[in-house]
Amino acid sequence: MTYDQLMADGTARLKGAGIVNARLESRWLLAHVSGCQHSELISRGPDQVPEQTIAAFLDRLSRREGREPMQHILGTTEFYGLEFLSDARALIPRPDSEIVVEMALERISREQPAFVADLGTGSGCLLAALLANRPLARGEGVEASDAAATLAGENLTRLGLADRSLVHRGSWTGWQNWAEADLIISNPPYIASAEIKGLMPEVREYDPMSALDGGTDGLDAYREIIGLAAQGMKQGAWLVFEIGFDQKEAVSALLDQAGFDEITCRKDLGGNDRAIAAKRPIV
């Protein structure tokens, strides 16, 4: 079988499985197992494919037909210009979350030391992106899942950030460094429980449920974090959240009721409300 034939067969199978970008994903999988650049696959199109490459491709193709996320199959994904290990231990880093990082970076000086924390750090992508772009900062990821905490540690280490970071294994309710942080960032679970069943299978069946389910109205984690932050954060520190597309008003109201000010929301590239920042006032 040639490379062209194998990619065409893969495209047809992925289309049949309901994958929108079937040809592109077939090319990604073939490039991954063959060790070729995408441009090389074009020149190698008429060439015969080694049997071991065919077997590896068909294995990955079968996994993708079952709607396993491409990031899990490839084992890595890019976020904010950094490459992260990605698997079932934590939520997959997604491009929409980059706007949350941008909002946070605007509130940390490049010239001054700072301590930042990431509540529910998961893969560690938010924390790593902050530290990679603020070389004087140090940070702590807070993660209740042992599996996710391990993944975060692996990512921070492979990105050369372990000397400026640590991962607290436990809930944010038991975390003791609220008063030390200059900025706290979080992408908490925010999907309403009843909406979980309507998510795409790549999300519903492969992302950890603890990273998705935000309770009856999707706001449980926001209420808890904002309540703790209002009591424990130092004055002048910033709180930055990722939010669902329809949660701007509700989360803003929670922050306002808790005494935060300078509440600002930002949209993602798709035009949806995605990030919200607020400051604990100096009194």
Please check if 165 is assigned to a binding site. Answer: no
Please check if 98 is assigned to a binding site. Answer: no
Cα gap 123→171, rounded to integer Å: 16
Q: Could you read off the pLDDT of 152-203 as tens digits, one per residue?
A: 999 999 999 999 999 999 999 999 999 999 999 999 999 999 999 999 999 9
Task: Tell me the average pLDDT of the chain.
Answer: 96
Please check if 227 is assigned to a binding site. Answer: no
Please check if 66 is assigned to a binding site. Answer: no
Please check if 121 is assigned to a binding site. Answer: yes
Q: Could you read off the pLDDT of 153-166 as tens digits, one per residue?
A: 999 999 999 999 99
Please check if 122 is assigned to a binding site. Answer: yes
Residue type, 166: L
Residue 135 CB burial class (10 angstroms; 0-12, 13-18, ≥19) = exposed
Please give the DSSP secondary-structure letter assigned to residue 14: H
Please check if 143 is assigned to a binding site. Answer: yes
Please check if 189 is assigned to a binding site. Answer: yes
Residue type, 49: V
Please check if 236 is assigned to a binding site. Answer: no
Please check if 208 is assigned to a binding site. Answer: no
Residues whose CB falls within 8 Å of the CB of residue 219, separated by 6 or more in sequence, listed in order: 190, 247, 250, 251, 254
Which pLDDT band, with edges at 50, 70 and 90, does 39 fall under?
A: confident
Please check if 178 is assigned to a binding site. Answer: no
CA distances from 66 to 52, 61, 206, 228 (A): 22, 9, 11, 41
Cα gap 103→268, rounded to integer Å: 11
Cα gap 270→92, rounded to integer Å: 18
CA distances from 71 to 4, 46, 84, 85, 255 (A): 24, 28, 10, 9, 34
